[in-house]
Amino acid sequence: MTASAAAINAIEDVSFGPAASKRDWAAWTTVGADGRRRLELAVDNVDCAACMGDIERAAARIRGVASPRLNLTTRRLTVALERDDADLEGLLTALDAVGHPARPFDPALARGAASTEMRRLLTSLATAGFGAMNVMMLSVAIWSGNVTDITPETRDFFHAVSALIALPCIAVAGRPFFSSAWRAVRRGGVTMDLPISVGVTLATAYSFVNTLTRQQEAYFDSALMLLFFLLCGRVLDELMRRRTALEAETLAALRTDTAVKIEPTGELVETPASKIAPGDLVLVRPGERAPVDGVIARGASEFDLSIMTGETTPVAAVVGTEICAGACNGSGAVELRASRPASGSFLDEVERLLRAAGDARSRTRRLADRVARFYTPVVHLGALSTLIGWLAAGADWRTALVNAIAVLIITCPCALALAIPAVQVVAAGRLFRDGVLLNAGDAIERFATVDTVLFDKTGTLTEPERRITDLADIDPALAGRAARLASRSRHPLARALAMAAGATENASATEVVERPGQGVEGRVDGRRARLGSPTFCGVAATKLAAAEERRPRATFIAYREDDSEPTLIAVEQRIRPDARDAVAALRKAGLAIEIISGDRPDAVASVAAELGVGRWRARQTPADKIARLEQLKASGRRTLMVGDGMNDAPALAAAHASLAPASGVDVAQVAADAVLLDGRLKAVPDLLAISRCARSAMIENLAFAIVYNVAAVPIAVTGHASPLVAALAMSGSSLVVTVNALRLRSARAVSGGERRLVEARA
Amino acid sequence: MTVLIYLVPAAVSLGMLGLAAFLWSLRSGQFDDLEGARWRILDED
């Protein structure tokens, strides 16, 4: 045995032991406000209240772990560490034992947990609500008093109290708008926040002057109510974004981006993948994914690159082969020396395309921004011409100014600012129940206008795991023996075989030797048996070619006993059960459908034929996919890209709208507009239908808000906008807009997605 | 109507009490897990 082979065997020996690698826990914990170290864990299978007690009790029993608390909303467990030697491995084992496998969060990735923005908004909202209610209480008294018999002293007193309440409340509640408007102005841009800030500031200042000069009217209530309604919109918006961020992080943590690092001392330490530096040695065991890009330093195996290239045939890897992050290791443990993505490498290419594609998409302007762009100058010009008009008509300065301010107050885009967030939140909540997680609120607008759907094949139309598909054609006794040998191997294909034939480990084969990159050899029921690649088992090339022709999508492994004829076993990624229905529903709704894949032409063709899709392209690189999208875009089509792999990520970012299943790689999910949580393709037509309903609700809301303002402006211009009119206009329009958004919630049942899609297009 | 001089500030300060209570509960994390809180009251310990 050579030195290198001995080393690999040594690695395999240690790496398969249960407690062989220890985690570098310091890298996972953060120091809390009270100086104690805290650890946050994503917990799986949390779906009921009973889990909460089980998990917390299990965690509390662990040495050194204090005050465990499970957040049922985010499905995260937070524990404080009382001492440095807290038994955190024990914690994971204990949670696993009660049926809730947990994974620690990489603190570097936990962005959504910092809920400071939400708290800031809620503080503002509460302050605005308090101020608006109390000032309104006084205002109603003044309004009714003005038409009856209020004494000027009482009115002045009420105004003074209103000012005392309103000024600090507006300062606190208006902060989000003032700071955002200021940032926009400094950048030279215009957002909705600018007219809001100007309107609120002028209304407050004017009311304050009126209070000091003991006039009849003050608009404190309008300013506060305006802030209150706008903050409702902001809170809803933030709520949606936070839920998305939290869910995405939990998904990522449960998929474990951990790496087993080999210390110079030979010790194995489990660390977050983000903490691996170039030059570090990383152990990749069979069945695991390479956590970082690297070059194989020791060992041999084969890697499944399907999640990256869409190509389903595994690629052989020996010392010196470059492997990129995400590749799935087949049969042998290998040591990987981490490298930066070399210029021109696959990942680098993906990243470059991703950046370029993302830039291009951020240029498509959102509905709200487009409205803001014309709304703001029109309103400000309107106020200015009111001022000039009244002066020209011979009014005094004071009247002219008052009426100009009234125009600004009454046109403050209260309903406009609520129009879109309200719809987005209701639609996002609805989609979430259907198993779709939106990454961006404005994605709904883009989903609604889609007319072409591009599907990736591998992992999207097909199931991500590979399964044995022709087990029924094989003699059951032979299949059982093959499965027993397979149960001793860690290779994903062998696992699939063992699972399919239902082998248990205790009745397994003996004298098993794993031959990295080839297969596994051993003794089953006294027969010498081999399971592995067709060449390893001595399958004739003609027989293999014939089998490949019969099943173009399959990868083949073979099983051979003694000197008998080897048996070929087909392993393939099956088409998702609901793919056909989803494709049919989309086609019925009049959408063009295409399959675009990195896999072999015959494999793609067979899937296309089975689903009845006429247009397909095979062997597409990430750049090819983008080129196809550009081509479609140039012909005026709006494309939805559905894909899960690394090779789809740039296309997902470049497409008009995009969708990734939760089983895909991180990059794909980050690049996509939405994630299919349970991988049901049936949700695609539903998503499009709901988006279309949502978009029409948005347009209705915008139209209503604009009509409302247009109707209200003449009242203000002619000087009839009393504080009472302003208050009624504002709350009335906000209410209508919100109720219209809530209609989406009670839109028809989920199952008839296809029908709704047809109706929504009509 | 001089009684208003006492009553209005009294009403406003009661409102402020409510606001302070809300802000305190917000800061102490009582709104962080509404889903879990609903079940925790049924938990015996």
Lowest mean pLDDT among A164-173, A482-491, B22-31: A482-491
Using the predicted structure, report yes or no on whether residue A9 has a pLDDT greater than 50.
no
Higher-confidence residue: A585 or A752?
A585
Span A585-595, pLDDT tens digits:
898 888 999 99
Mean pLDDT for A94-109 is 78
Per-residue pLDDT at A391: 92
A501 touching chain B per CB within 8 A = no
- Helices A193-212 and A397-410 cross at an angle (nearest 10°) of 140
| Tokens matching residue A657 | 């709208």
**Residues A269/A260, Cβ–Cβ less than 8 Å:** yes
Output the average pLDDT for chain A.
Answer: 79
Interface of A with B in 68-107 (CB under 8 A): 70-74
**Residues A197/A127, Cβ–Cβ less than 8 Å:** no
Look at A134 and B43 and tell me if their CB atoms are within 8 Å. no
Among chain A residues, CA nearest to B22: A126
| Tokens matching residue A600 | 């072999």
Which residues make Cβ contacts (< 8 Å) with residue A284, sequence separation at least 6? A260, A290, A291, A323, A329, A333, A334, A335, A336
**Residues A646/A326, Cβ–Cβ less than 8 Å:** yes
Using the predicted structure, report yes or no on whether residue A670 has a pLDDT greater than 90.
no
How many residues can be counted in chain B?
45
How many residues can be counted in chain A?
762
Neighbours of A153 (CB within 10 A): 11
Per-residue pLDDT at A134: 93
Lowest mean pLDDT among A109-113, A217-221, A248-252, A377-381: A109-113
Mean pLDDT for A234-249 is 74
d(CA A626, CA A630): 6
User: What are the backbone angles phi and psi of residue A593, rounded to the nearest 5°?
Assistant: -125, 140
B16 strand-pairing partners:
none
Residue A302: exposure state from Cβ atoms within 10 A (0-12, 13-18, ≥19): buried
- CA of B17 vs chain A CAs: smallest distance (Å): 10
pLDDT band at A162 (very low <50, low <70, confident <90, very high): very high
| Tokens matching residue A449 | 């206008």
ipTM of the complex: 0.90
Mean pLDDT for A113-133 is 85
d(CA A109, CA A103): 13
d(CA A735, CA A588): 37
| Tokens matching residue A118 | 């939400």
Name the percent of chain A lying above pLDDT 90. Answer: 10
B44 touching chain A per CB within 8 A = no
Higher-confidence residue: A9 or A259?
A259
Neighbours of A611 (CB within 10 A): 21
Interface of A with B in 105-134 (CB under 8 A): 115, 119, 122-123, 126-127, 130, 133-134
d(CA A305, CA A316): 10
A172 touching chain B per CB within 8 A = no
Q: Which amino acid is at A649?
A: A
Domains and CATH numbers, chain A: 29-104 (3.30.70.100), 378-462+576-762 (3.40.50.1000), 467-572 (3.40.1110.10)
Among chain B residues, CA nearest to A70: B36
From edge to edge, which strands make up the β-sheet containing A567-572?
Answer: A467-468, A567-572, A555-561, A527-532, A519-524, A510-515
Q: Which amino acid is at A456?
A: D
Which residues make Cβ contacts (< 8 Å) with residue A20, sequence separation at least 6? A14, A268
Per-residue pLDDT at A351: 63
d(CA A11, CA A460): 35
Q: Encode A277-334 in three state secondary structure.
A: CCCCEEEECCCCECCCCEEEEECCEEEECHHHHCCCCCEEECCCCEECCCCEECCCCE
Using the predicted structure, report yes or no on whether residue A106 has a pLDDT greater than 50.
yes
Per-residue pLDDT at A255: 58
Per-residue pLDDT at A248: 66
Lowest mean pLDDT among A92-96, A434-438, A469-473: A469-473
Look at B36 and A72 and tell me if their CB atoms are within 8 Å. yes
Which residues of chain A have a CB within 8 Å of the CB of B18? Answer: 130
Q: Is A41 helix (H, G, I), strand (E, B) or coil?
A: strand
Span A185-213, pLDDT tens digits:
888 777 777 878 888 898 899 899 989 99
| Tokens matching residue A228 | 């209150």
Look at B16 and A130 and tell me if their CB atoms are within 8 Å. yes
Look at B1 and A71 and tell me if their CB atoms are within 8 Å. no
Span A322-370, pLDDT tens digits:
887 777 787 777 888 887 544 445 555 666 666 666 555 544 556 777 7
Q: Encode A581-631 in three state secondary structure.
A: HHHHHHHHCCCEEEEECCCCHHHHHHHHHHHCCCEEECCCCHHHHHHHHHH
User: Could you give the residue numbers annotated as active site of A?
Assistant: 456
Which residues of chain B have a CB within 8 Å of the CB of A49? Answer: 36, 38-39, 42
Q: Encode A137-187 in three state secondary structure.
A: HHHHHHHHHHHCCCCHHHHHHHHHHHHHHHHHHHHHHCHHHHHHHHHHHHH
d(CA A626, CA A540): 40
Look at B23 and A123 and tell me if their CB atoms are within 8 Å. yes
d(CA A252, CA A230): 33
Q: DSSP class of residue A271?
A: E
Which residues of chain A have a CB within 8 Å of the CB of B33? Answer: 71-74
Per-residue pLDDT at A413: 65
Look at A72 and B35 and tell me if their CB atoms are within 8 Å. yes
d(CA A524, CA A537): 15
Which residues make Cβ contacts (< 8 Å) with residue A67, sequence separation at least 6? A79, A80
